[in-house]
Structure 1
Amino acid sequence: LQEGILFHHLMSASSGEDAYVLPMALGFDSRERLDEFAAVLQKVVDRHDILRTAVLWEGLREPVQVVCRHAEIPFREVELEQIPDRDVQGVADGLLAVCGSLMDITTAPLVHVTAAEVPGTTRWVALVQVHHLIQDHTAVDVLFAEVQAFLTGRAAELPTPLPFRNFVAQA
């Protein structure tokens, strides 16, 4: 467990901003594509136990990461009525403002998706937030490569995921 990140997460609760929540805005040309992405992202979370972890510490001698057998990605749809720019970037900025950067790390998965339609279009923007306790930038690249493999029909080519316990045993 990355106790330093946990410490900063706990300290940031009062400020409302967690620097370790990594936000990524993605644009989609239709609601159908957004829904397909969300379903595939769930498949990737289902494949990797690190993506289904929560962090617990209250009442314990030391913090622990708990792997859940199943963890449904929280998917929230919001309407952004008052955004300054009615474009993809304006919606992405609006989603960041609505979502903030705090995440309940005691509930898996530490991957959240919030989406909004770009007003006056059929386009959508999804804000994907991942906590750094479970992913760094390199691992996020791997996550999106797997999403791409599913979307392009190459999921069978993906390597068998390594159990998180193997990583912990090596640490």
Structure 2
Amino acid sequence: MMSSRAVGLAPAFRQVLFAPRLARNQIARNVVVKRGVQTQSLPPSAATNILNAQRLKRPSSPHFTIYQPQLTWLGSIANRVTGAGLSVLLYGYAIAYLVAPDIFDSAHVISFIGGLPVWLKYAGKTILAGPFAYHSLNGLRHLAWDGTKFLTLKGAYSSGYAVLGATALTTVGLVLM
């Protein structure tokens, strides 16, 4: 003789679904556990004091000053700083040109720079070429990372040193132009 027996949660769900409404409410009341905790309202100053006391007991996150500097996070910081610096220079010049186009046109800029001492020209070119070269080459490195290249620790360090070396060569090349 064969008997059929339902296996799984379906029979239990069917029982609850097709039970009379009163029985379903009784089941729900039995399942829900009531808390025995009493709450009380606090004035905002007391709540702030409790929160400040809890914050004093929390451990503080490690700060980057306790870690040994690593090429990866120094490169990330340098990439952000060079990008922000180049953006500020670009937008600053563009706004200056919009405000006073007679002063910041090409002829005036070239004549002004032509009158500067040679050492100041090279210093200015270096200050502009270094961040430009680094940010551009590090952008190519990030594109390689997006293409899943150099993602290992060894690859990240070798590409970082390659970017630093290429930045030095590119900066010298741009300054000597």
TM superposition score normalised by structure 1: 0.21
Question: Between Structure 1 and Structure 2, which shows a larger proportion of strand residues?
Answer: 1
Question: Between Structure 1 and Structure 2, which shows a larger proportion of helix residues?
Answer: 2
Higher relative contact order (CA 8 A, sep 6+): 1
TM superposition score normalised by structure 2: 0.21
